[in-house]
Chains A and B, each alone.
Chain A
């Protein structure tokens, strides 16, 4: 079922939680609402579910206006951040709940319920826990049971609020992969809220980046990562180095140094360049060509990539990631002067308006 979010606004007192938000979510996609806390992503998810009502705007499910439809009748599955399992019911009864509360004429027979719950528990690979109570499960198990419970009523839309937020790093990673596989199996339109960019990039078909109650960019993970539409997106997704300067003749002038940004770049007095840590070439200070000088402060060489912290002439810090092998070939160590050549630089006008990607 497709979801269309049309001009949704929501206030909490004086706080503008959502400001004229419009998003289209095609049927069968797994979409991430990504943003810092307080950006309105959870509120938006709850509005889609009907747990919260918008001050203005409409929610269309499969093209039909569902704004005034009761939560019960929206046919959505909702997975809560803290699972919200019924603590006095067994795992089996938790999953069966949605089936048991159906009006008598739609309610499946006891046999059918048993079959469906068993199938769902197998789907989330926890059939052996059917008789346990939620308090006897680990966090990851609870989250999977919450998902099975939401799926039991065969929702047309699955909404997940920070589904992995309360889990430790290792379980998170496992569940992430598992959720992606599950979605590929059942293909239900899914929206999940997260503040973890890695999670959004890894799991979703499409990412909606939100900030301060508005949408910054909508796109596939590689689109938003490689071609951020706004400075916010550029800095929120992954770490990034900022260069303030002016653009002239296809170059970003930072102090006395110039970095090539392509001829298509409009000239502007106040611009910001964004370069990700892995987008630098590091060369010895005396190498020919133009680059930014920097002094190595610290090298953290763990794993295949080395994190290098450098000091710019203007006193600001730079973060650069290069292959550890490259580092050892160059023979660089802390205290050395180097020349940095960005391979890729995204320039935005300083007043947040999009210039180039």
Chain B
């Protein structure tokens, strides 16, 4: 689900020799299949989004984006991401820290649970909240009595988004922190550093690129989440519509140009995310190569 392919350090440097090389046609065939698939299924749809968005010209495009409802959807999406991402940043670091640095009963279970949001359908993630906070739900009456709206309101959307995007940061950090061990932290404690100083001066600098990577992916998912949010939002225009939901509504109303205009923003977000991701990956790889060199030399 977290569609990330990370090249291992050194993977690019594999060199061919005539004795290990496959025949040329194998190479051409494999690359050809990969590129064709990539073009038809990935590149072409991406272009189609932008072409459709601009079919009726700049005027319509800008009008679609600057309509009241579209602006409200953009605002809500940004707000949701602005709440969900920092929360998951803190949760993710805490979960990864506790898993990588401590031994405790139930650790395996926790690792499995972290993946839960990835393994269930987003619709079910949304339904969980309907079950909990809906009018007939477990806590529904209590919240209704206190006049607090969770479902079909911003809190519900934020909760569903937090749930769905929870694993990104933690999953990125756990293997990284496990690989790094805790010797540096121990060294810092012996030198007299407090818990916070240990985290700030030794742990954080070592995980910063992995953390940023996780945050970028988390943010992309938070802004693009459809299924879970769709269940809890209630689709109230200008109130509880996020960008992906807004796209759906416009599309269902045969307002294709506007639908694709908003969709193009999401596509743009995806492209920016990929760009950032590549940059961060490059940094991570540099760091990995360095720490590899550190270990090899020792």
| A interface residues with partner B (beta carbon < 8 Å) | 49, 51, 71-72, 76-78, 80, 82-88, 97-98, 101-102, 134-135, 137-139, 142, 149-150, 152-153, 166
Contact = CB atoms under 8 A, between A and B. Distances in A.
A342 B245 CA distance: 93
A320 B295 CA distance: 40
Contact of B291 (A135, A139, A142): A135
B205 A101 contact: no
A139 B190 contact: no
B59 to A, nearest CB: 51
Contact of A82 (B183, B190, B193): B183
Contacts of B293: 135
Residue with the highest number of chain A CB atoms closer than 10 Å, among B197, B290, B298: B298
16 contacts: A49-B190, A77-B190, A80-B187, A83-B298, A84-B184, A84-B186, A87-B184, A87-B294, A97-B188, A101-B197, A101-B201, A135-B294, A137-B297, A149-B187, A153-B191, A153-B192
A88 B193 contact: no
Nearest to A139: B298
Given A80-B183, A135-B294, A86 B190 contact: no
B191 A97 contact: yes
A51 B186 contact: yes
Contacts of B194: 72, 101
B273 interface: no
A88 B190 contact: no
B236 interface: no
B188 to A, nearest CB: 7
Given A87-B294, A135-B290, A135-B291, A97 B189 contact: no
Interface in B200-243: 201-202, 205-206
Given A134-B294, A135-B290, A166-B298, A88 B187 contact: no
Interface string B108-133: 00000000000000000000000000
Given A80-B183, A86-B201, A135-B294, A72 B206 contact: no
Given A78-B186, A82-B298, A102 B206 contact: no
A87 B192 contact: no
Contacts of A86: 184, 187-188, 201-202, 205
B205 A71 contact: no
Contacts of B184: 84-87
A138 B297 CA distance: 7
Looking at A101, A142, A152, the one whose CB has the most chain B CB atoms below 10 A away is A101
A134 B296 CA distance: 12
A76 B192 CA distance: 9
A149 B290 contact: no
Given A135-B290, A166-B298, A101 B187 contact: no
Contacts of A97: 188, 191, 193, 201
A102 B192 contact: yes
Interface residues of B, number: 23
Interface of B: 183-184, 186-194, 197, 201-202, 205-206, 290-291, 293-295, 297-298
Given A84-B184, A86-B201, A88-B206, A76 B294 contact: no
A7 B54 CA distance: 80
Contacts of A152: 191
A314 B156 CA distance: 86
A23 B201 CA distance: 36
Of listed A71, A138, A150, A152, residue having the most chain B CB within 10 A:
A71
B206 A101 contact: no
A84 B192 CA distance: 15
Contacts of A80: 183, 186-187
A149 B183 CA distance: 14
A286 B239 CA distance: 110
Given A72-B193, A88-B206, 17 more contacts: A51-B186, A76-B190, A84-B184, A84-B187, A85-B187, A86-B202, A87-B294, A97-B191, A98-B192, A101-B191, A101-B193, A134-B294, A135-B290, A135-B297, A137-B297, A149-B191, A166-B298
A166 B202 CA distance: 23
Contacts of A84: 183-184, 186-187
A49 B183 CA distance: 13
B177 to A, nearest CB: 14
Given A78-B186, A138-B297, A72 B192 contact: yes
B206 A87 contact: yes
A187 B188 CA distance: 24
Contact of A139 (B191, B197, B205, B297): B297
A46 to B, nearest CB: 9
* CB-based closest 9 A-B pairs: A98-B191, A84-B183, A84-B187, A101-B193, A88-B205, A78-B190, A135-B294, A101-B197, A135-B290
A137 B187 CA distance: 19
A349 B149 CA distance: 84
Contacts of A83: 298
A152 B191 CA distance: 9
Contacts of A149: 187, 191
A42 B212 CA distance: 36
Nearest to A73: B192
Nearest to B198: A101
A88 B39 CA distance: 41
Contacts of A134: 294
Nearest to A102: B192
A198 B291 CA distance: 32
A49 B205 CA distance: 25
A334 to B, nearest CB: 43
A214 B186 CA distance: 26
A150 B189 CA distance: 11
Contacts of B294: 87, 134-135
A135 to B, nearest CB: 5
Given A135-B291, A135-B294, A101 B188 contact: yes
B291 A87 contact: yes
Contacts of B189: 51, 71-72
